[in-house]
Amino acid sequence: MKRFSVIGNPIEHSLSPKLHNYWLDKNKIDGNYDKKLLTEEKVGEFFKSNQNISGINVTVPFKKTVLNYCTELSKLALNSQSVNTITLFDEKIIGDNTDIYGFEQSLKDLNFDGTNKTAFILGAGGVVSSVVIALNNLGVKNIFISNRTKNKAEALAKDYNLVVLDWGKIVDFNIVINCTSIGLKPNDNLGLDFSNIKNKIFYDIIYKPKTKFLIDAEGSGNQIIDGKMMFLYQAQKSFEIWHGIKPEINEEVTDLLND
């Protein structure tokens, strides 16, 4: 039986095991997928003691940490300096990035055309480089970024040609993307005032349905997108990398995330 795992901290909320085990079963593949809570210091040990594992998904906050343990990187992982999918065989540890595909495909589904559009990114964590590359692929050239800790936004701005805004300031945009972790907990509040904005797109990469960010945006007359399809598409691509099969995303699969 082949083994797979998702590593992160926190990891309890991760729906990756449920989704991958469902697809393994549907596709009659002899495998098992579990989750592992790690600390930064334990990541190296995990790689050493799990050499019989075939694939690993990586979530917050280790998408950059694992770069140190990969023996090879795909072009996307190299460009984004972010790894969410690892394949292990013949002593090779190959890092890949399927978040870019996930984010891009979720917007393509909605016929989003980025030409002459302005995007506003909130946050500067591990997933932002993937979001930026996907936006560029969709034709978005003007990208603003704002983060509570400004120097993290500045570092990304330098690498990816973004414009930095002070935290709390808002710019005129077509699409705003919440890439912070605010919204994961029930009473989380970003503390930014978007109440005068309407007819724009509000995207929250958190896959929980309707964060406060999205509820408020919808109430003001904006289009909202949650992180569900991005999550499903990144997982679908990981599955395809490991098993050579593109698993189906249908109602039964989307329902798995609602239970």
Phi-psi region of 112 (alpha: psi -120 to 50; beta: other; left: phi over 0): beta
**Residue 92 in 3-state DSSP?**
strand
Q: Could you tell me the smallest distance in angstroms from the CB atom of residue 188 to ligand ATR?
A: 8
Closer to ligand ATR by CB, 95 or 125: give it.
125
Q: What residues between 120 and 179 interact with ligand ATR by CB under 6 A?
A: 123-127, 147-149, 152
Helices (H), 27-74: 43-49
Instruction: Tell the residue number behind the tokens 């592992």, with chain if given.
Output: 36
Closer to ligand ATR by CB, 125 or 247: give it.
125
Closer to ligand ATR by CB, 82 or 238: give it.
82
Say whether residue 65 binds ligand ATR (CB under 6 A): no
Say whether residue 60 binds ligand ATR (CB under 6 A): yes
Closer to ligand ATR by CB, 186 or 244: give it.
186
Q: Could you tell me the smallest distance in angstroms from the CB atom of residue 99 to ligand ATR?
A: 11
- Tell me, yes or no, if 63 is annotated catalytic: yes
Answer for which of 34, 54, 61, 170 binds ligand ATR (CB under 6 A) is: 61
Of all helices (H) and strands (E), which one includes residue 123?
A: none
Beta strands in the chain (DSSP E): 2-8, 31-37, 55-58, 72-73, 85-89, 92-96, 118-122, 142-146, 163-165, 175-178, 201-204, 223-225
Name the DSSP letter for residue 70. -
Say whether residue 180 binds ligand ATR (CB under 6 A): yes
Q: Looking at beta carbons, which residue is closest to ligand ATR?
A: 125
Could you tell me the CA-to-CA distances from 157 to 77, 104, 121, 126, 249 in Å, in that order?
18, 20, 11, 14, 34
Q: Please pick, among 35, 63, 117, 200, the residue that the annotation labels catalytic.
A: 63
What are phi and psi for residue 92, nearest 5 degrees? -95, 145
Query: Which residues make up the interface to ligand ATR (CB under 6 A)?
Result: 60-61, 123-127, 147-149, 152, 180-182
- Catalytically active residues are 63
